[in-house]
Amino acid sequence: MRPTFLKSLLDSWQLSLSLGRERDLIPFWILGALALGGALVHFMPLTFWAPDQRPTIVSILSAMMTFNGIILALCWSAFGKVYEIIGAGTFAAHLRKHNMLNHYLVFVGYCHLAQVLAISMTAFSIFALWLPLQGWFVKTIFAGAIASTAYALRQGVATSTVMQDLIWQKSLFDSSEAGPAIQQVQQK
Protein backbone atom coordinates (compact mmCIF):
# COMPACT_ATOMS: atom_id res chain seq x y z
CA MET A 1 0.00 0.00 0.00
CA ARG A 2 1.34 3.40 -0.97
CA PRO A 3 2.02 5.74 1.98
CA THR A 4 -0.16 8.81 2.49
CA PHE A 5 0.92 12.15 1.05
CA LEU A 6 1.77 13.57 4.48
CA LYS A 7 3.91 10.57 5.47
CA SER A 8 5.65 10.70 2.11
CA LEU A 9 6.28 14.44 2.46
CA LEU A 10 7.77 13.91 5.91
CA ASP A 11 9.95 11.10 4.50
CA SER A 12 11.18 13.47 1.78
CA TRP A 13 12.09 16.07 4.39
CA GLN A 14 13.88 13.40 6.39
CA LEU A 15 15.83 12.41 3.26
CA SER A 16 16.90 16.03 2.80
CA LEU A 17 18.12 16.10 6.40
CA SER A 18 19.98 12.79 6.06
CA LEU A 19 21.75 14.14 2.94
CA GLY A 20 22.86 17.22 4.88
CA ARG A 21 20.60 19.54 2.91
CA GLU A 22 18.89 21.28 5.82
CA ARG A 23 18.81 24.51 3.82
CA ASP A 24 16.39 22.88 1.37
CA LEU A 25 13.77 22.73 4.12
CA ILE A 26 13.61 26.52 4.45
CA PRO A 27 10.72 27.64 2.23
CA PHE A 28 12.61 30.46 0.48
CA TRP A 29 10.32 30.38 -2.56
CA ILE A 30 7.17 30.56 -0.44
CA LEU A 31 8.59 33.42 1.61
CA GLY A 32 9.69 35.19 -1.58
CA ALA A 33 6.24 34.78 -3.14
CA LEU A 34 4.59 36.16 0.00
CA ALA A 35 7.00 39.10 0.03
CA LEU A 36 6.27 39.78 -3.65
CA GLY A 37 2.51 39.73 -3.06
CA GLY A 38 2.81 41.97 -0.03
CA ALA A 39 5.15 44.43 -1.75
CA LEU A 40 2.96 44.74 -4.85
CA VAL A 41 -0.13 45.38 -2.75
CA HIS A 42 1.72 47.84 -0.50
CA PHE A 43 2.97 49.94 -3.40
CA MET A 44 -0.34 50.06 -5.29
CA PRO A 45 -1.80 53.57 -5.38
CA LEU A 46 -4.60 54.18 -2.89
CA THR A 47 -7.00 54.91 -5.75
CA PHE A 48 -6.63 51.28 -6.88
CA TRP A 49 -8.41 50.13 -3.70
CA ALA A 50 -11.40 52.47 -4.03
CA PRO A 51 -14.78 50.69 -4.14
CA ASP A 52 -15.41 51.92 -7.70
CA GLN A 53 -12.23 50.08 -8.80
CA ARG A 54 -13.58 46.63 -7.90
CA PRO A 55 -14.32 45.78 -11.57
CA THR A 56 -10.65 46.47 -12.34
CA ILE A 57 -9.54 44.25 -9.46
CA VAL A 58 -11.90 41.50 -10.61
CA SER A 59 -10.46 41.78 -14.15
CA ILE A 60 -6.92 41.44 -12.83
CA LEU A 61 -7.85 38.48 -10.63
CA SER A 62 -9.69 36.83 -13.55
CA ALA A 63 -6.58 37.17 -15.67
CA MET A 64 -4.51 35.66 -12.87
CA MET A 65 -6.95 32.76 -12.53
CA THR A 66 -6.74 32.13 -16.28
CA PHE A 67 -2.94 32.24 -16.06
CA ASN A 68 -3.03 29.73 -13.18
CA GLY A 69 -5.25 27.45 -15.23
CA ILE A 70 -2.84 27.62 -18.15
CA ILE A 71 0.11 26.81 -15.86
CA LEU A 72 -1.77 23.82 -14.46
CA ALA A 73 -2.75 22.59 -17.94
CA LEU A 74 0.82 22.90 -19.21
CA CYS A 75 2.20 21.14 -16.16
CA TRP A 76 -0.11 18.18 -16.69
CA SER A 77 1.93 17.23 -19.75
CA ALA A 78 5.08 17.34 -17.60
CA PHE A 79 3.28 15.39 -14.84
CA GLY A 80 2.30 12.80 -17.43
CA LYS A 81 5.88 12.46 -18.65
CA VAL A 82 7.16 12.13 -15.07
CA TYR A 83 4.57 9.42 -14.38
CA GLU A 84 5.49 7.69 -17.63
CA ILE A 85 9.21 7.69 -16.77
CA ILE A 86 8.96 6.67 -13.13
CA GLY A 87 6.41 3.98 -13.93
CA ALA A 88 8.49 2.34 -16.65
CA GLY A 89 9.23 -1.30 -15.76
CA THR A 90 12.77 -1.82 -14.55
CA PHE A 91 13.34 1.89 -13.90
CA ALA A 92 10.31 1.96 -11.56
CA ALA A 93 11.67 -1.12 -9.79
CA HIS A 94 15.08 0.58 -9.52
CA LEU A 95 13.53 3.74 -8.03
CA ARG A 96 11.45 1.72 -5.60
CA LYS A 97 14.44 -0.40 -4.57
CA HIS A 98 16.35 2.79 -3.70
CA ASN A 99 13.33 4.40 -1.97
CA MET A 100 13.03 7.14 -4.59
CA LEU A 101 9.75 6.31 -6.34
CA ASN A 102 7.57 7.79 -3.64
CA HIS A 103 9.68 10.97 -3.50
CA TYR A 104 8.87 11.67 -7.15
CA LEU A 105 5.18 10.95 -6.53
CA VAL A 106 5.22 13.39 -3.60
CA PHE A 107 6.92 16.02 -5.73
CA VAL A 108 4.24 15.82 -8.42
CA GLY A 109 1.50 15.83 -5.79
CA TYR A 110 3.04 18.85 -4.07
CA CYS A 111 3.35 20.80 -7.33
CA HIS A 112 -0.22 19.93 -8.23
CA LEU A 113 -1.39 21.04 -4.78
CA ALA A 114 0.43 24.39 -5.14
CA GLN A 115 -1.20 25.02 -8.50
CA VAL A 116 -4.70 24.07 -7.34
CA LEU A 117 -4.18 26.30 -4.30
CA ALA A 118 -3.30 29.22 -6.61
CA ILE A 119 -6.46 28.73 -8.66
CA SER A 120 -8.55 28.35 -5.51
CA MET A 121 -7.03 31.39 -3.81
CA THR A 122 -7.62 33.53 -6.88
CA ALA A 123 -11.23 32.29 -7.22
CA PHE A 124 -11.82 32.95 -3.52
CA SER A 125 -10.43 36.45 -3.98
CA ILE A 126 -12.89 37.17 -6.78
CA PHE A 127 -15.85 35.94 -4.75
CA ALA A 128 -14.67 37.74 -1.61
CA LEU A 129 -14.81 41.07 -3.45
CA TRP A 130 -18.60 40.72 -3.52
CA LEU A 131 -18.68 40.68 0.26
CA PRO A 132 -19.15 43.99 2.06
CA LEU A 133 -15.54 43.93 3.24
CA GLN A 134 -12.99 46.58 2.47
CA GLY A 135 -9.56 47.78 3.39
CA TRP A 136 -7.05 45.32 4.76
CA PHE A 137 -9.14 42.24 3.87
CA VAL A 138 -9.28 43.05 0.16
CA LYS A 139 -5.58 43.86 0.15
CA THR A 140 -4.72 40.64 2.00
CA ILE A 141 -6.66 38.37 -0.34
CA PHE A 142 -5.23 40.17 -3.38
CA ALA A 143 -1.70 39.70 -1.97
CA GLY A 144 -2.49 36.02 -1.33
CA ALA A 145 -3.64 35.58 -4.92
CA ILE A 146 -0.44 37.17 -6.22
CA ALA A 147 1.74 35.10 -3.87
CA SER A 148 0.05 31.81 -4.71
CA THR A 149 0.27 32.56 -8.44
CA ALA A 150 3.97 33.36 -8.19
CA TYR A 151 4.63 30.16 -6.23
CA ALA A 152 2.57 28.07 -8.67
CA LEU A 153 4.66 29.46 -11.52
CA ARG A 154 7.84 28.50 -9.68
CA GLN A 155 6.52 24.98 -9.09
CA GLY A 156 5.59 24.74 -12.77
CA VAL A 157 9.18 25.51 -13.72
CA ALA A 158 10.40 22.98 -11.14
CA THR A 159 8.14 20.33 -12.67
CA SER A 160 9.69 20.89 -16.07
CA THR A 161 13.18 20.69 -14.57
CA VAL A 162 12.40 17.44 -12.77
CA MET A 163 10.95 15.98 -15.96
CA GLN A 164 14.16 16.82 -17.85
CA ASP A 165 16.34 15.43 -15.05
CA LEU A 166 14.33 12.20 -15.04
CA ILE A 167 14.68 11.85 -18.81
CA TRP A 168 18.45 12.21 -18.39
CA GLN A 169 18.62 9.75 -15.49
CA LYS A 170 16.46 7.20 -17.30
CA SER A 171 18.71 7.41 -20.36
CA LEU A 172 21.73 6.70 -18.14
CA PHE A 173 19.87 3.84 -16.47
CA ASP A 174 18.82 2.40 -19.83
CA SER A 175 22.36 2.60 -21.20
CA SER A 176 23.77 0.85 -18.13
CA GLU A 177 21.11 -1.85 -18.50
CA ALA A 178 21.79 -2.18 -22.23
CA GLY A 179 25.57 -2.44 -21.72
CA PRO A 180 25.69 -6.12 -20.66
CA ALA A 181 23.12 -7.09 -23.33
CA ILE A 182 25.15 -5.40 -26.07
CA GLN A 183 28.33 -7.12 -24.88
CA GLN A 184 26.58 -10.50 -24.99
CA VAL A 185 25.38 -9.86 -28.56
CA GLN A 186 28.87 -8.74 -29.64
CA GLN A 187 30.43 -11.91 -28.19
CA LYS A 188 28.10 -14.17 -30.23
pLDDT band for position 186 (cuts 50, 70, 90) = very low
Please report, for residues 92, 107, 153, 156, 157, the alpha-carbon distance to residue 102 in angstroms, rounded to integers and kept in the order given: 10, 9, 23, 19, 20
pLDDT band for position 135 (cuts 50, 70, 90) = confident
The range of the structural domain enclosing residue 32 comes to: 5-175
Q: Has residue 101 been placed in a domain?
A: yes
State the average pLDDT over residues 165-182: 77
pLDDT band for position 180 (cuts 50, 70, 90) = low
pLDDT band for position 181 (cuts 50, 70, 90) = very low
Q: Which of 15-19, 119-123, 138-142 has the lowest mean pLDDT?
A: 15-19
Q: Has residue 30 been placed in a domain?
A: yes
Q: Which of 34-48, 93-107, 142-156 has the lowest mean pLDDT?
A: 93-107
First to last CA, the chain: 44
Taking residue 81's Cβ as centre, other Cβ atoms within 10 Å add up to 17
Q: What's the number of domains the chain is made of?
A: 1
State the average pLDDT over residues 152-174: 91
Q: Has residue 188 been placed in a domain?
A: no
Q: Has residue 180 been placed in a domain?
A: no
pLDDT band for position 178 (cuts 50, 70, 90) = low
129-157 per-residue burial string, b: 16 or more CB within 10 A, e: under 16: beeeeeeeebbbbbbbbbbbbbbbbbbbe
Q: Has residue 123 been placed in a domain?
A: yes
Residue 179: what pLDDT?
55
38: Cβ contacts below 8 Å, ≥ 6 apart: 143, 147
Q: Has residue 46 been placed in a domain?
A: yes
**Residue 110 carries which side chain, given as an amino acid letter?**
Y
Q: Has residue 186 been placed in a domain?
A: no
Segment of 81-85, 174-178, 184-188 carrying the highest mean pLDDT: 81-85
Q: Has residue 181 been placed in a domain?
A: no
State the average pLDDT over residues 100-112: 90
